[in-house]
Structure 1
Amino acid sequence: MRILVLGGDGYLGWPTAMYFSARGHDVAVVDNYLRRRTVLEAGSDSLTPVLNLHQRVEAWRKITGRTIEAHLFDLCDYEPLDALMKSFQPDAVVHYGQIPSAPYSMVDRIHATFTQQNNIVNNLNTIFAILNNNPEVHLVKLGTMGEYGCPNIDIEEGYIEIEHKGRKDTLPFPKLPHSWYHASKVADSTNIHFASRVYGLRATDLNQGVVYGVSTEETDIDPALMTRFDYDEQFGTALNRFCLQAVIGHPLTVYGTGGQTRGFLNIRDTLRCVELAVENPADRGEFRVFNQFTESFSIRGLAETVQKSARELGLEVEIASVENPRTEAQEHYYNPTHTKLIDLGLKPTLMSDDLVKNTLQVLMQHKDRAVVEAIAPRTTWS
């Protein structure tokens, strides 16, 4: 297959490009280094040293003999995207190319509007580039479990059957986004669903949980193929932040009580989930939603897991509660359904001490690169 990866320089985008290339697919990637620039703006950088995109694809070619096309442009600029869609003629487009940070979007009005403009416009450009060139192309879009929020009912996969005043219908599951970023992803899902109903777009929305880990089959081949690892308060997820804190001897900073519960999955499972979506495309006019995570944990439970794994490596680390910068319930009901990817063949890689210790050991090699000042929460929801 011919697969176009948008956001191909990112934490997930680069491993995804290598994953498909290693399995014999023709791969092209697009990026504009926005993630790199926004992390630098936050006063941080990837803990793991990463080459630029052209150096990465050259390293991949030298090591494996496989070619990945690299293109540098902004997805909010329609013309180069349209031209690439014409020339590359993908069978599937995997869309990661957005700002993926709730805290970043909550800094101020400028960051909120930029997040929404960037994410919504580049998603619309992607939809029209597919429809205007080849409507048979399958769009695999990275969504987020954060679109649902934390309702006091079970979360279904995308849709819910509702009976109201004696009538029934199956409708999109209600959304309760908790940041301007998550609101932009809700808008994306609405726009993709609309394009599927009206224009016959075939699309799969992967409502992904929190991804952890830094090691994949391909990144482990050579240090030149490593993916980025962010830990700062804007772009570092809780578990990745805890792992970095453990290796530098910093207390694990749990926001509030740590009773917030979320869905998680290992980075290797992310790659397999995307592969399953690509290999089993949606029908024309179908908008599928897969809840992409493998297990749920409370934030305090994650901290305790990292603390235990760190001790087994001889790292003593404390857990510290800090004031929660977010306006959110400290304890809540959380029971999302996630069966569709299992039904397609996903065999989950459940979190274990060995997986956490593997991440800690990789980070220990680069701990001198940590910018400690970038860890503490500074962005608030107030």
Structure 2
Amino acid sequence: MRVLVLGGDGYLGWPTALHLSDKGHEVAVLDNFARRQYDVELEAESLVPIEDLATRIDAWQEVSGKKIISYIGDLLDAEFLYNAVREFAPDSIVHYAEQSSAPYSMIDREHAVYTQNNNVVGNLNLLYAIAEINPDIHLVKLGTMGEYGTPNIDIEEGWLEVEHNGRTDRMLYPKKPGSYYHLSKVHDSHNIEFACRIWDLRATDLNQGVVYGQETPQTTLDPRLATRFDYDGVFGTVLNRFVIQAVLGQPLTVYGKGGQTRGLIDIRDTVECIRLAVENPAERGEFRVFNQLTATMSVSEIADLVAEAFPGPVQIEHLDNPRVEQPEHHYNVKHTGLVGLGLKPHLLSDTLIESMFDIVGANKHRVNIDRMLPQVSWRGAIKS
């Protein structure tokens, strides 16, 4: 298949492009390098050095003999996007090209507006490009488990059978997002479902949990193929922060009591989920939803796991939670769709032991400690 990966220079987009290319697909990547500009703005770089896109593409061709095509531009530029889709003529489009940080979206009004405009309008331009150029293109869109929030009922895979006043219907699962970033993803999902229903498009929405890990079988073939390792208080994930703190001999900083529970997934499973979705496309007119996670753990459980896995003493420290979220909650997520397609998940403990401590140890001199603690408060931009 011909697959166009939007956001193909990013943390997940780049290893996804490599994985798909390695599995025999013809791949192109599209990116505007906004993620690299966020590093400049926030004065926080990837822990692991990453090469520019051209160097990465050349390195992949040297290592694999396979070519990846690149398009440099912005989804908000509809003419550019239409031209790229026409020229490459993909069978599937994998859409990662969005501002992906909840804290970034909550910095202030400007960042909230930017996030919503960038994500929602870019996604709308993409839907129109598919509808007008080739409605048979399969859209594989990266959503987030954060769309659902933490309801007091089990979370189904995208859809919910409802009985009300003696009548039944199948409708999109109710959403209760926790940031303006997550809200943008909810808007995306509703817009995609509408396009499938009205224009007969085909789409798979992957509501992904928190991704951990930094290596895939392809990125380890050459240092120039490495992907990002974010740890700062805006784009970093809790697991990355804990691993770095353990290696540096600092306390693991748990926000609040640590009862917040989230879905988790290994980066190797993320790229495999994309492959499975691409190779098993949704039907025309179908808005298919998979919950893309392989485990659920509370923040405290993640801290305990890191402390147990690290070969040395580790302390755990509790901080005031900068987010507005339930400290403890019900969290039971259905996630059978991707397993049904053949996903064989990796275990979190395996990833920690095999690679993450070593990766951090080799790059600990690059840590900016000042950027590790919370930088954004959910209520900080609003004057009381």
TM-score (norm 1): 0.98
Contact 1:150 1:334 in 2 (8 A): yes
- The corresponding residue for 1:132 is 132
Q: Does 1:360 align with 2:357?
A: yes
**How big is the shift at 1:215?**
1.1
- The corresponding residue for 1:62 is 62
**How big is the shift at 1:378?**
2.0
Distance in 2, Cα, partners of 1:296 & 1:47? 26
Contact 1:310 1:357 in 2 (8 A): no
TM alignment of 1:41-190, pairs within 5 A: 41-190=41-190
Question: How many aligned positions are there?
Answer: 379
Change in Cα spacing, 1:276 to 1:182, as seen in structure 2 (3 Å) is same
- The corresponding residue for 2:382 is none
Q: Deviations over 1:339-371 (max 9, x none)?
A: 111111111112225544411111211111111
Distance in 1, Cα, partners of 2:353 & 2:110? 37
Q: Does 1:8 align with 2:5?
A: no
4+ residue segments displaced more than 3 Å: 353-357
Q: Does 1:340 align with 2:337?
A: yes
Distance in 1, Cα, partners of 2:252 & 2:204? 36
Distance in 2, Cα, partners of 1:11 & 1:299? 22
- The corresponding residue for 1:218 is 218
Tell me the secondary structure at the aligned position of residue 29 of structure 1. strand
Tell me the secondary structure at the aligned position of residue 3 of structure 1. strand
**How big is the shift at 1:39?**
2.7
Distance in 1, Cα, partners of 2:132 & 2:19? 28
Tell me the secondary structure at the aligned position of residue 366 of structure 1. helix
Where does the alignment leave 5 or more consecutive residues of structure 1 unmatched?
A: none
- The corresponding residue for 1:245 is 245
Tell me the secondary structure at the aligned position of residue 348 of structure 2. coil
**How big is the shift at 1:308?**
1.4
TM-score (norm 2): 0.97
Tell me the secondary structure at the aligned position of residue 198 of structure 2. helix
Indicate the RMSD between aligned Cα atoms, in angstroms.
Answer: 1.0
Change in Cα spacing, 1:22 to 1:147, as seen in structure 2 (3 Å) is same
**How big is the shift at 1:40?**
2.6
Distance in 1, Cα, partners of 2:251 & 2:171? 44
Distance in 1, Cα, partners of 2:184 & 2:351? 36
Q: Deviations over 1:306-335 (max 9, x none)?
A: 111112xxx433111111001111111100
- The corresponding residue for 1:326 is 323
- The corresponding residue for 2:27 is 27
Contact 1:305 1:353 in 2 (8 A): no
Contact 2:306 2:352 in 1 (8 A): no
Tell me the secondary structure at the aligned position of residue 127 of structure 1. helix
- The corresponding residue for 1:229 is 229
- The corresponding residue for 2:281 is 281
Tell me the secondary structure at the aligned position of residue 207 of structure 2. strand
Q: Deviations over 1:272-296 (max 9, x none)?
A: 1111111110011100000000010
Q: Percent identity?
A: 55
**How big is the shift at 1:249?**
2.1
Contact 1:76 1:118 in 2 (8 A): yes
Tell me the secondary structure at the aligned position of residue 174 of structure 1. coil
